[in-house]
């Protein structure tokens, strides 16, 4: 009925659930009291014993009951909302803690965007689960039995008849659910995707028109809509049966209760007040159950959303140390027989040796899949769980507190992100205390000053999602400026220039060179020409460190490095020819 794990999560918020259910129960009690009042009045009217003072006496009682009911309803809904909000907030916090303290190792099945979608969308889907479904489960367990109890006081046979009808409701839901199982969710998804396609096709209409695909797509869309409509109507035919059955049970059941009441009354076992009360309350007995039934799909969506969340939360934890990395002016990183595997079986890095120290610009090259990025994640302190040794100033990485490492190590990659905020806020992300002048100076260092001057909003210019209103080169240079403001001792650049134009690349490479004067700079490169002048180049091939040295020594050896350079030179040839052309024409 209730997902145990989700319910367990709400431990600290159960007070609100209790208040909500209690108020819902009180509200039902007040309702029953007013029904009793009506039954009494009707009885005296029917028996011809009525007098005006009866009614006048009843009015304030009724008003008091109505007032009380409004109050309890308000508390009920507010408490339910609080419960739901608290529950979701706790889930969100858990998730945030998990991912802000942990590197998600399994990047394949949990991409950053999926994580974000699950966090934002998935948790919201639980709103109705906590806010409506769970309180209703408890209310349903309490209210119908109370009604039964009240009617039972007047006559137990009537109560028994009503009880006998109850199992029919879940039973019928179950049967029909089984019939429509699997189909409903599939078709719901089809329905949603129909809407998404429509939106997408309007967004991309310019593209479609340029390539004259608009008519084809339009026709396709109409066909899909029609196909979907015919099939969903078929499914609906099955599903709507549950409405018929449920309504038949609710009202047929009430009828049975009333009929039983009439028989009992005719035999003198039930007085008139009781009989009228049966008439007024028999439907009320079934309604909470019916409402709960209509919330089942809410429960289903909630639980399936939660499953994905729990998968996230259950990901194995990285083991971090607690030792603090002390700040000095000079750092030395050494790796000795360093090996790493994500899953314990497939080796990503195998017995790697390398060293780097402040004042050096070190390059890591290799084809994609060679383990470069994993090495970057180890050195930046995100990943642990390696074998062998990886030290910084003699401290073993696995013993270090990651936050103290992050204070010294700055990382920038091709998937670093900007935030939907002002330019100022994005830059201050690097250093919250920086003055505007320092921010502008940082922009100047990455050659964004002239671009900045064209912005009418200045530092208050708002960037759209992940710098959507910037070009690739501008975005990466801005991220670089942000990193410079953070002023780290060790800089890691992981393919930071892979989506930027030639001019931006040149500027960024210059900044890296300048940084290496007094800092330690490690560059993971996708282009050989960009690291030709590095102090030392390490070449990775399928997880192994196959070569190391300067460009001059490596190029004279037969090996992976030479192959990579030659491959690139083949591409480069044309560019050089063109650049010569250009010189000639000027």
Q: Give the C-alpha separation, 42 to 406, whole Å.
A: 77
Report DSSP state, residue 435. Answer: -
Q: Which is nearer to another protein, 241 or 339 (CB)?
A: 241
In the stretch 171-210, what mask flags binding to another protein with x, by CB under 8 A? ------------------------xx-xxxxxxxxxxxxx
Distances (CA, A) of 176 to 50, 129, 183: 49, 22, 12
Min dist. Cβ of residue 126 to another protein (A)? 13
Of 292-300, 354-362, 427-435, 543-551, which part binds another protein (CB under 8 A)? 427-435
Interaction of residue 341 with another protein, rule CB under 8 A = no
Residue from the set 10, 69, 158, 564 that interacts with another protein by CB under 8 A = 69
Of 434-442, 466-474, 531-539, 549-557, which part binds another protein (CB under 8 A)? 466-474
Of 96-104, 181-189, 288-296, 389-397, which part binds another protein (CB under 8 A)? 96-104
Of 231-239, 303-311, 326-334, 435-443, which part binds another protein (CB under 8 A)? 231-239
Interaction of residue 164 with another protein, rule CB under 8 A = no
- Give the strands of the sheet with 395-396, arranged side by side: 347-357, 332-341, 387-392, 395-396
Residue from the set 406, 424, 544, 549 that interacts with another protein by CB under 8 A = 406
Long-range contacts of 466-470 (CB under 8 A, 24+ apart): 466/417, 466/418, 466/419, 466/420, 467/418, 470/418
Min dist. Cβ of residue 4 to another protein (A)? 25
Helices (H), 431-559: 436-445, 449-454, 472-486, 502-515, 551-556
Distances (CA, A) of 71 to 64, 66, 75, 126, 187: 11, 9, 6, 27, 41
Min dist. Cβ of residue 229 to another protein (A)? 5
Interaction of residue 229 with another protein, rule CB under 8 A = yes
The angle formed by the CA atoms of residues 372, 373 and 375, to the nearest 5 degrees, is 65
Min dist. Cβ of residue 457 to another protein (A)? 16
Q: Which is nearer to another protein, 265 or 554 (CB)?
A: 265
Could you list the beta-strand ranges (E) of 115-158.
none
Residue from the set 145, 347, 385, 472 that interacts with another protein by CB under 8 A = 472
Q: Give the C-alpha separation, 488 to 407, whole Å.
A: 7
Angle between helix 272-294 and 134-154 (nearest 10): 160
Query: What is the Cα 305 distance to its own chain's centre?
Result: 9
Distances (CA, A) of 183 to 173, 176, 179, 194, 292: 15, 12, 9, 16, 21
Interaction of residue 368 with another protein, rule CB under 8 A = yes
Interaction of residue 415 with another protein, rule CB under 8 A = yes
DSSP reduced 3-state for 537: strand
Interaction of residue 54 with another protein, rule CB under 8 A = yes
Min dist. Cβ of residue 50 to another protein (A)? 5
Residue from the set 6, 19, 32, 41 that interacts with another protein by CB under 8 A = 41
In the stretch 282-321, what mask flags binding to another protein with x, by CB under 8 A? ----------------------------------------
Min dist. Cβ of residue 92 to another protein (A)? 7
Rg (CA), the chain: 35
DSSP class per residue in 153-200: HH-HHHHHHHHHHTTHHHHHHHHHHHHHTTHHHHHHHHHHHHHHHHHH
In the stretch 124-143, what mask flags binding to another protein with x, by CB under 8 A? x-------------------
In the stretch 236-255, what mask flags binding to another protein with x, by CB under 8 A? xx--xx-xxxxxx-xxx-xx
Interaction of residue 258 with another protein, rule CB under 8 A = yes
Q: Which is nearer to another protein, 172 or 548 (CB)?
A: 172
Footprint of another protein on residues 432-461 (CB under 8 A)?
A: 432
Find the helix or strand (DSSP H, E) in which 338 lies.
strand 332-341
Q: Which is nearer to another protein, 317 or 501 (CB)?
A: 501
Interaction of residue 462 with another protein, rule CB under 8 A = no
**Is 6 within 8 Å of 306 (Cβ atoms)?**
yes
Of 150-158, 229-237, 321-329, 534-542, which part binds another protein (CB under 8 A)? 229-237
Residue from the set 1, 66, 171, 179 that interacts with another protein by CB under 8 A = 66
DSSP reduced 3-state for 521: strand
Q: Which is nearer to another protein, 353 or 568 (CB)?
A: 568
Contacts of 5 (CB under 8 A, 6+ apart): 306, 310
Neighbours of 43 (CB within 10 A): 18
Q: Give the C-alpha separation, 435 to 433, whole Å.
A: 6
Residue from the set 60, 233, 329, 343 that interacts with another protein by CB under 8 A = 233
Q: Which is nearer to another protein, 149 or 259 (CB)?
A: 259
Interaction of residue 113 with another protein, rule CB under 8 A = yes
Size of residue set near another protein by CB under 8 A: 152
Min dist. Cβ of residue 245 to another protein (A)? 7
Q: Which is nearer to another protein, 440 or 495 (CB)?
A: 495
Q: Which is nearer to another protein, 390 or 548 (CB)?
A: 390
Q: Give the C-alpha separation, 192 to 204, whole Å.
A: 18
């Amino acid at each position: 009925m209730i997902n145990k794990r989700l319910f367990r999560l709400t431990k600290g918020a159960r007070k609100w659930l209790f208040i909500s259910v209690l108020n819902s129960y009180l509200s039902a009690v007040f309702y029953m009291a007013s029904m009793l009042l009506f039954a009494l009045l009707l009885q005296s009217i029917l028996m011809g014993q009525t007098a005006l003072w009866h009614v006048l006496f009843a009015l304030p009682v009724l008003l008091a009951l109505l007032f009380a009911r409004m109050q309890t309803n308000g508390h009920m809904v507010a408490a339910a909302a609080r419960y739901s909000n608290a529950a979701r907030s706790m889930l969100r916090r858990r998730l945030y803690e998990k991912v802000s303290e942990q590197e998600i190792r399994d990047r394949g099945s949990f991409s950053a965007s999926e994580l974000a979608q699950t966090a934002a969308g998935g948790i919201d889907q639980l709103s109705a689960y906590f806010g409506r479904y769970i309180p209703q489960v408890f209310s349903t367990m309490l209210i119908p039995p109370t009604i039964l109890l009240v009617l039972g006081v007047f006559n137990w046979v009537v109560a028994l008849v009503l009880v006998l009808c109850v199992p029919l409701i879940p039973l019928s839901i179950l049967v029909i659910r089984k019939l429509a199982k699997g189909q409903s969710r599939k078709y719901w998804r089809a329905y949603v995707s129909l809407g998404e396609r429509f939106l997408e096709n309007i967004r991309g209409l310019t593209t479609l028109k340029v390539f004259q695909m608009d008519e084809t797509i339009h026709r396709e869309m109409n066909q899909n809509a029609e196909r979907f409509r015919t099939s969903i109507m078929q499914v609906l035919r099955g599903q709507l049966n549950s409405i018929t059955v449920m309504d038949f049970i609710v009202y047929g059941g009430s009828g049975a209760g009333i009929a039983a009441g009439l028989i009992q009354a005719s035999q003198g076992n039930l007085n008139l007040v009781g009989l009228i009360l049966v008439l007024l309350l028999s439907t009320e007995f079934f309604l909470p159950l019916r409402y709960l039934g209509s919330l089942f799909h809410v429960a289903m969506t909630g639980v399936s959303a939660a499953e994905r969340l729990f998968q996230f939360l259950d990901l194995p934890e990285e083991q971090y140390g607690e030792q603090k990395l002390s700040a000095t002016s000079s750092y030395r990183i050494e790796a000795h027989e360093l090996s790493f595997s994500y899953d314990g079986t497939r080796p990503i890095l195998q017995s790697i040796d390398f060293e780097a120290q402040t004042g050096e610009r070190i390059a890591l090259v290799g084809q994609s899949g060679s383990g470069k990025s994993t090495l970057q994640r180890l050195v930046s302190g995100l990943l642990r769980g390696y074998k062998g040794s990886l030290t910084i100033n003699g401290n073993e990485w696995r013993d270090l507190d990651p936050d103290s490492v992050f204070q010294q190590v700055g990382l920038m990659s091709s998937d670093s992100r900007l935030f939907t905020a002002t330019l100022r806020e994005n830059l201050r992300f690097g250093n919250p205390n920086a003055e505007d002048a320092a921010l502008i100076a940082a922009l100047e260092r990455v050659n964004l000053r002239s671009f900045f001057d064209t912005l009418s909003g200045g530092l208050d210019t708002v960037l759209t999602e992940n710098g959507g209103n910037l070009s690739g080169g501008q975005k990466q240079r801005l991220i670089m400026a942000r990193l410079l403001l953070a002023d780290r001792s060790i800089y890691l650049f992981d393919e930071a220039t892979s989506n930027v134009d030639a001019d931006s690349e040149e500027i960024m490479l210059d900044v890296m060179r300048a940084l290496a004067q007094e800092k330690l700079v490690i560059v993971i490169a996708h282009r050989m020409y960009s690291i030709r002048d590095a102090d030392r180049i390490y070449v990775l091939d399928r997880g192994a460190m196959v070569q190391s040295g300067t460009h001059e020594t490596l190029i004279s050896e037969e090996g992976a490095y030479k192959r990579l350079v030659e491959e690139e030179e083949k591409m480069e040839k044309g560019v050089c020819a063109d650049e010569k052309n250009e010189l000639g024409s000027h």
